[in-house]
Structure 1
Amino acid sequence: MDTVILIVELVGVLSFAASGAMTGLRKNMDLFGVCILGLTTAVGGGVIRDVILGNTPPATFQNPIYAAMAVVTSLVLFLPRVRRLLTHNQPLYDLVMLLMDTLGLGIFTVMGVQIAYTYVEEPTVFLLVFVGVVTGVGGGVLRDMMSGDTPYIFVKHVYASASLAGALACTLLWLPGLELYAMGAGAVTVIFIRFLSAYYHWNLPRAHD
């Protein structure tokens, strides 16, 4: 199970690092800026999660594989051919951004729940869901703030709400021996809601509505 968890985490890191690096490309940042934004997006939510749970130093600083994956992903996206392909084709950029950000959100939401179960002896549903959502959206919030944008979770298609639904599904389905199934169901819930909201342009009511 540990190997499966590590692979899932690395896929999540790659996905969020890509979304952060792509934001850096859109903002015309230099190589260092793109890498920092990719790294922050990939590990930011996990660092916040670990601080909340008292798991210090955070896992990111104990195992360099996460940071290395994020930086390598950012470097690949900065390659001239890849960079031009993404920045000169807006529909492709939007599609890849949606895929990477959604996949990262789903994975990190359920990873937050899993880590909370691991480090808290008798976690409440509120704690598990809260940590799951914070882990899922934390890196994206830091990405948007660092790039000068209004955080994605406040203005785009249903985002934090999808993370909330996925974290709740994962928590309620969690049973000894069936943890991976609960995590899979939670991640699929997030991804399904995000894709539907993007396709149908669902948004929560806004202040000016």
Structure 2
Amino acid sequence: MSVSQQIIFFTEIIGTIAFAFSGATVAIRRRMDIFGVLVLGGCTAVGGGLIRDLILGNIPPSMFRKPVYVAVSAITSLAVFILIRRNNHLLEEEGSQRFLRFIELMDAIGLGAFTVVGVNTAVELGYENNSFLMVFVAVLTGAGGGILRDVLGGITPIVLRKRVYALASIAGAIVHLMLMKPLGSLAMFAGAGVVVLIRFLAAQYRWDLPVAIPKHSSTGT
């Protein structure tokens, strides 16, 4: 395995762990059983990559050719289940704010990691001259699993409502594309770093995109 392949694999594993952690936590908060936790953790971790591969014609999708990602997501989800089952206070309103922030951090890391993996996958499949497609599948890889997680969890997808989620992914994908030629595989870290930084700042300063109806306004209905 070349250095470039090692960097990509490491990034994918980090993203898988981060998103599985995020998905499992959502499942637990929605009071799903252990099977539901494993399913939601897995969907969050590999769902975006699955949709990306189907769009790019990468058949069968990577999750079936490299089951290590499914295994890592299952182990992570199970670990989260055991952790919270033994420490219920972590998800209580009066519980640890540090843990809740850690969940947000894991989600940001997962978004950053899979955004740049999406770009890299499109390049490997020969679409390096189609910038729009590369950015599109980057965002899809990064946010697709989270959309599946939220839909299965019965909540409005976070990508549509909170903390400039998709824009962070778009910005990271563009940075990755711009730095690919001068930096090579290292551009992945720059792109992922931009995504995490934007998500961190958005959470810290409560940045949200404008909505037509403010949260506390009455619509008259």
Whole-angstrom CA distance in 2 between matches of 1:37 and 1:26: 12
Q: Which residue of 1 aligns with 2:140?
A: 134
TM-score normalized by structure 1? Answer: 0.95
Selected match of 1:173 from 173, 179, 183: 179
1:176-204 deviations in Å (ceiling 9; x for gaps): 7x322211111011011111111110000
**Offset, 1:85:** 4.8
How many equivalent pairs are there? Answer: 208
Selected match of 2:200 from 195, 201, 205: 195
The question of whether the paired residues in 2 share the 8 Å contact of 1:53 and 1:120 is answered with no
1:144-198 deviations in Å (ceiling 9; x for gaps): 000000001111111000000000111111117x322211111011011111111
Whole-angstrom CA distance in 2 between matches of 1:202 and 1:86: 25
1:83-103 deviations in Å (ceiling 9; x for gaps): 525323252342122111000
Whole-angstrom CA distance in 2 between matches of 1:145 and 1:104: 18
The question of whether the paired residues in 2 share the 8 Å contact of 1:25 and 1:87 is answered with no
The question of whether the paired residues in 2 share the 8 Å contact of 1:86 and 1:92 is answered with no
- 5 Å matches for 1:45-194? 45-79=48-82, 83-88=87-92, 89=95, 91-175=97-181, 178-194=183-199
Larger radius of gyration: 2
Q: Which residue of 1 aligns with 2:45?
A: 42
Selected match of 1:206 from 208, 211, 214: 211
The question of whether the paired residues in 2 share the 8 Å contact of 1:17 and 1:74 is answered with yes
- 5 Å matches for 1:16-31? 16-31=19-34
Percent sequence identity over aligned pairs: 48
Whole-angstrom CA distance in 1 between matches of 2:81 and 2:127: 43
TM-score normalized by structure 2? Answer: 0.90
Alignment partner of 1:79: what SS? helix
Structure 2 gaps, min length 5:
215-221
**RMSD, matched Cα:** 1.4
Alignment partner of 1:28: what SS? coil
In 2 relative to 1, CA 117–155 (structure 1 residues): closer, same or farther, beyond 3 Å?
Answer: same
Residue type of the alignment partner of 2:115: T
Q: Which moved more, 1:77-86 or 1:40-49?
A: 77-86
Which 4+ residue blocks in structure 1 deviate beyond 4 angstroms?
80-83
Whole-angstrom CA distance in 2 between matches of 1:12 and 1:82: 25
**Offset, 1:123:** 2.9
